């Protein structure tokens, strides 16, 4: 049985992924700052801010998954908050690289989180893993530096995969419910013009894609997005098709930028990223289009 060590496991994505890995026959272990009672999987201590990790956790590891990083969608983005977003990601990579180097450990596969923020605001331009990073924006710079730091893992693994995750849609929480705060009142809205593209992925496909990456031993960047990115307005239209609602314009872009500042990029940037690597390697999406995904999420 292969041992998988997951850092940043107690978030929405990490907990779901742990369930998937366990169901697929992996022995799942967690790296946590604060151990939780009644947890299903063995827990090992680490503290990236202090540069500490329990080195026993890395012994016998076949797969290392690093999802750690301070949440992005916490307002406001003060300078202190922005530093924490960036530094938490870089510190998590450094402490793991240092521990692997100190122990002379080489694992089979490392999966390192990143995001489609790497591409920045690119309008309706179709983007694949072969495209370079955006030129401007806080999240773009964070992802660029995050991925540059992750290259330090290469001497310590046979395969290194960078997971550029899009909007992760899950009815348990996260961005899905934040996109539709008025849905209980049958009111939907879109941000700005609603013409900006969202590269999204249904949680079922996200975790199936992770298993595909592991089984096929895929290295390099992988866009964890559905093959059909949609505009924000079209996403809300898909919801309206399932639950008859009033669809109205939301706050104009200028007002959002004034209120949220740089954080407005989270909801206003347009990124039409497509999963070329997954598709060419034979991965088959269960929810390739937003209409089918929304129907399942709202069920």
Residue-wise pLDDT tens digits, 116-153 = 999 999 999 999 999 999 999 999 999 999 999 999 99
Q: What is the pLDDT of residues 276-296, one digit of tens each?
A: 999 999 999 999 999 999 999
**Ramachandran bin of 139, using left for φ above 0, alpha for ψ from -120 to 50, beta for the remaining angles:** alpha
H-type alpha helices, the chain: 12-23, 79-103, 138-150, 175-178, 203-216, 232-242, 253-260, 265-268, 276-280, 290-298
Phi then psi dihedrals of residue 252, to 5 deg: -65, 155
Residue 93 binned pLDDT confidence (cut-offs 50, 70, 90): very high
Q: What is the pLDDT of residue 147?
A: 98
Q: What is the pLDDT of residue 277?
A: 98
DSSP label of 84:
H
Percent of the residues in the chain that have a pLDDT greater than 70, as a whole number: 100
Write b or e for each residue in 26-56: b if 16 or more Cβ atoms lie within 10 A of its Cβ, otherwise e. Answer: bbbbbbbeeeeeeeebebbebebeeeebeee
DSSP-based three-state secondary structure for 168: strand
182 and 239 Cβ atoms separated by less than 8 Å:
no
Q: What is the pLDDT of residue 10?
A: 86
Is residue 90 over pLDDT 90?
yes
Is residue 167 over pLDDT 80?
yes
Integer Cα distance of 158 and 108 in angstroms? 5
The C-alpha angle 43, 44, 50, rounded to 5 degrees, equals: 140
Q: What is the mean pLDDT of residues 149-159?
A: 98
Q: What is the pLDDT of residue 37?
A: 72
* C-beta neighbour count of 70 within 10 angstroms: 17
87 and 136 Cβ atoms separated by less than 8 Å:
no
Q: What is the pLDDT of residues 8-45, one digit of tens each?
A: 998 899 999 999 999 999 999 999 998 877 778 999 99
Q: What is the pLDDT of residue 271?
A: 97
Q: What is the pLDDT of residue 1?
A: 86
Kindly state the tokens that stand for 29. Answer: 């272990």
* C-beta neighbour count of 229 within 10 angstroms: 27
Q: What is the pLDDT of residues 40-77, one digit of tens each?
A: 899 999 999 999 999 999 999 999 999 999 999 888 99
Q: Which residue, among 139, 132, 131, 123, has the nearest Cα to 193 in the 3D structure?
A: 123
DSSP-based three-state secondary structure for 179: coil
Mean pLDDT of the chain: 95
Residue 265 binned pLDDT confidence (cut-offs 50, 70, 90): very high
For domain 3-298, say whether CATH 3.40.50.720 is its number: yes
Integer Cα distance of 59 and 152 in angstroms? 19
* C-beta neighbour count of 278 within 10 angstroms: 26
Show Cβ contacts of residue 97 under 8 Å, excluding neighbours closer than 6 positions: 152, 153, 156
Q: What is the mean pLDDT of residues 78-100?
A: 97
Q: What is the pLDDT of residue 177?
A: 86
Q: What is the pLDDT of residues 184-221, one digit of tens each?
A: 999 999 999 999 999 999 999 999 999 999 999 999 99
Q: What is the pLDDT of residue 74?
A: 86
What string of H, E and C letters represents the secondary structure of 236-288?
HHHHHHHCCCEEEECCCHHHHHHHHHHHHHHHHCCCEECCHHHHHCCCCCCCC
Q: Provide the edge-to-edge strand list for the sheet that holds 157-165.
A: 52-53, 43-47, 27-32, 3-7, 63-66, 107-115, 157-165, 220-224
DSSP-based three-state secondary structure for 208: helix
């Amino acid at each position: 049985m292969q041992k998988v060590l997951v850092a940043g496991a107690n978030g929405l994505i990490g907990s779901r992924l742990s369930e998937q890995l366990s169901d697929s026959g992996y022995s799942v272990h967690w790296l946590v700052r604060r151990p939780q009672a009644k947890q299903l999987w063995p827990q090992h201590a680490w503290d990236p801010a202090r540069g500490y990790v329990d080195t026993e956790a890395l012994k016998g590891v076949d797969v290392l998954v690093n999802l750690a990083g301070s949440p992005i969608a916490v307002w406001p983005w003060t300078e202190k908050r922005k530093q924490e977003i960036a530094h938490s990601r870089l510190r998590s990579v450094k402490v793991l690289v240092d521990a692997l180097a100190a122990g002379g450990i080489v694992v089979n596969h490392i999966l390192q989180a990143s995001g489609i923020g790497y591409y920045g605001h690119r309008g309706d331009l179709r983007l694949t893993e072969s495209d370079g990073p955006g030129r401007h924006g806080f999240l773009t710079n964070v992802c660029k530096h995050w991925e540059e730091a992750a290259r330090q893992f290469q001497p310590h693994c046979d395969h290194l995969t960078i997971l550029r995750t899009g909007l992760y849609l899950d009815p348990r929480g996260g961005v899905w419910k934040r996109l539709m705060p008025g849905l209980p009142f049958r009111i939907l809205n879109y941000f700005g013009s609603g013409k900006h593209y969202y590269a999204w992925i249904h949680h079922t496909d996200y975790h199936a894609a992770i298993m595909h990456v592991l089984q096929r031993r895929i290295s390099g960047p992988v866009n964890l997005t559905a093959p059909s990115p949609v505009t924000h307005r079209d996403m809300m239209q898909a919801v309206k098709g399932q639950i008859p609602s009033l669809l109205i314009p939301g706050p104009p872009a200028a007002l959002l930028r004034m209120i949220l500042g740089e954080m407005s990029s989270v909801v206003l940037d347009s990124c039409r990223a497509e999963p070329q690597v997954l598709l060419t390697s034979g991965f088959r999406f269960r929810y390739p289009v937003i209409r089918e995904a929304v129907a399942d999420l709202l069920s």
